[in-house]
Amino acid sequence: MKTPRIIVVGAGPVGVVAALACAQHGFAVTLLEAESKVDDSPRAATTHPATLEMIDRLGLIEPFIAQGLVARYFHFWDRPTRTRIAEFDHDLLRNETRFPFVVQTEQHKLANMGLARLREYADSIIRFETRVTEIRQDAGGVTATAEGTDGVEEFQADYLIGADGGRSTVRKALNIEFEGYTWPERFLIFTVTDDFQQMLDCCYRNYFADPEEWVNLFKVAGDDGGGRWRACFPGRVDEADDHALSDEAVHGRIQRAFPKGGPYNLVHRNLYKTHQRVAAKFRLGRVFLAGDAAHVNNPIGGLGLNCGIHDAIELVDTLHQFVSGRADESLLDRYERRRRTMNIQFVQEATIANKKRLEESDPQVRRANLDELRARSEDPVRHKEFLMRTSLIESVRKAQLIS
């Protein structure tokens, strides 16, 4: 029997994980990426326990941990009074997972280490500078038309995974609606080399609630392993992008949040449009959507990529069960039933609630929210329940119950 071939569109972290999982299951893979290299702009880093288990299955856990930072705790703060409200400790999950911690490893590192592993499979074709423009499918297979440095080319396969990000060409080619909304404010991300742990006595993952301007503050290793801190702020709705990224506005924002007797050493600044959207369908015939192509959300809680990796693993396992004759074709729809439901129930719900909690302006509701977080952190049973949800262990277990 001919080895089934799968085209994966997009060499972001989700596409690379999907392609590597395909190769490891014995599929032939064609990975097509529009750009000339993996995008290394600062985005996801927070990788939760349930996702670490999947990265372990791929055989990448050692380099993944070695290139990142292990973050056992996360903290909620009240920004106006600079008070730490609650500490959550992943070690409470030690009987639930082999990885009772988060690992902060930048997403381009995962994509690059996955690509290096994928290159070891003789049946894998990896093409950069190859932008997919059209998809056709029929009873016999699927064809992707792509534009590359040598002109227009066609690629054939049995199935295709669209992991081509939020603006997915694959999703648009299938005419699948991206249901949801876009937040009116931009999210601003600044990276500095100054050591917040020393300045604030904070941990590697911190959420500062403030009705005027919330902040998320995280540590990542950086490509040189020297350590960087990333702060995420909401922009003002009426603020022009150029102004928000000007030296004056950027340094002003960081200094107002975390005053320091001297300038910060700023190494990166950017701003993002943020959405809460889920594709109306995750499968159409031989074509599937995964990662940001299927769902996008605000980054508070660090869930979007985690959920995308869960999509990739679930999808490839499902395809493998079907192709190896252990299930009939109707199983392929279970992918959507599991992953679309989990995205809505866990990721969309949690990220919208996280944003609301950080920006809450009603003083009574705000007080009640912070009291509730503190009470939860002080009660071992509720503390663990909260971590089961934030770590996505609960979502993975719930998904397994969907037939």
Ligand X SMILES: Cc1cc2nc3c(=O)[nH]c(=O)nc-3n(C[C@H](O)[C@H](O)[C@H](O)COP(=O)(O)OP(=O)(O)OC[C@H]3O[C@@H](n4cnc5c(N)ncnc54)[C@H](O)[C@@H]3O)c2cc1C
The residue (of 18 and 28) whose beta carbon lies closer to ligand X is 18
Residue 149 C-beta: closest distance to ligand X, Å: 13
Contacts of 306 (CB under 8 A, 6+ apart): 44, 46, 47, 48, 50, 51, 392
Q: Is 314 in the site for ligand X (CB under 6 A)?
A: no
Half-sphere exposure at residue 391, Cβ-oriented, CA atoms within 13 angstroms: 33
The residue (of 43 and 366) whose beta carbon lies closer to ligand X is 43
Q: Is 269 in the site for ligand X (CB under 6 A)?
A: no
Q: Is 55 in the site for ligand X (CB under 6 A)?
A: no
Q: Is 299 in the site for ligand X (CB under 6 A)?
A: yes
Cα(139)–Cα(119) distance, rounded to whole angstroms? 30
Q: Is 44 in the site for ligand X (CB under 6 A)?
A: yes
Q: Is 112 in the site for ligand X (CB under 6 A)?
A: no
Q: Is 241 in the site for ligand X (CB under 6 A)?
A: no
Q: Which residue stretch of 245-253, 261-269, 299-307, 385-393 sits at the interface with ligand X (rule: CB under 6 A)?
A: 299-307
Identified binder of ligand X from the candidate list 165, 343, 354, 390, rule CB under 6 A: 165
Q: Is 114 in the site for ligand X (CB under 6 A)?
A: no
Q: Is 162 in the site for ligand X (CB under 6 A)?
A: no
Q: Is 131 in the site for ligand X (CB under 6 A)?
A: yes
8 Å CB contact between 134 and 145: yes
Pairing of strands 5-9, 159-162: parallel
Identified binder of ligand X from the candidate list 13, 49, 100, 234, rule CB under 6 A: 13
Q: Three-state SS for 374?
A: helix
Residue 294 C-beta: closest distance to ligand X, Å: 8
Largest CA distance in the chain: 69
Cα(184)–Cα(44) distance, rounded to whole angstroms? 21
Task: Quickly count helices (H) and strands (E) in the chain.
Answer: 14, 22
Residue 2 C-beta: closest distance to ligand X, Å: 25
Report in angstroms the alpha-carbon separations of 94 from 26, 50, 213, 319.
Answer: 33, 12, 35, 32
Identified binder of ligand X from the candidate list 6, 21, 34, 315, rule CB under 6 A: 34
Q: Is 115 in the site for ligand X (CB under 6 A)?
A: no
Q: Is 306 in the site for ligand X (CB under 6 A)?
A: yes
Contacts of 296 (CB under 8 A, 6+ apart): 166, 180, 274, 275, 276, 277, 304
Pairing of strands 215-220, 205-209: antiparallel
Q: Is 45 in the site for ligand X (CB under 6 A)?
A: yes
Q: Is 291 in the site for ligand X (CB under 6 A)?
A: yes
Q: Is 49 in the site for ligand X (CB under 6 A)?
A: no
Q: Strand order in 28-32's β-sheet?
A: 124-127, 28-32, 5-9, 159-162, 287-289, 283-284
Q: Is 12 in the site for ligand X (CB under 6 A)?
A: yes
Identified binder of ligand X from the candidate list 6, 8, 9, 22, rule CB under 6 A: 9
Q: Strand order in 178-182's β-sheet?
A: 178-182, 275-279, 295-296
Site for ligand X in 186-205 (CB under 6 A): 189
If you compute the radius of gyration of the chain from its CA atoms, what whole number of angstroms results?
21
Site for ligand X in 72-111 (CB under 6 A): 107
Binding site for ligand X (CB under 6 A): 9-15, 32-35, 39, 43-46, 107, 131-132, 163-165, 169, 189, 272, 291-292, 299, 302-306, 308
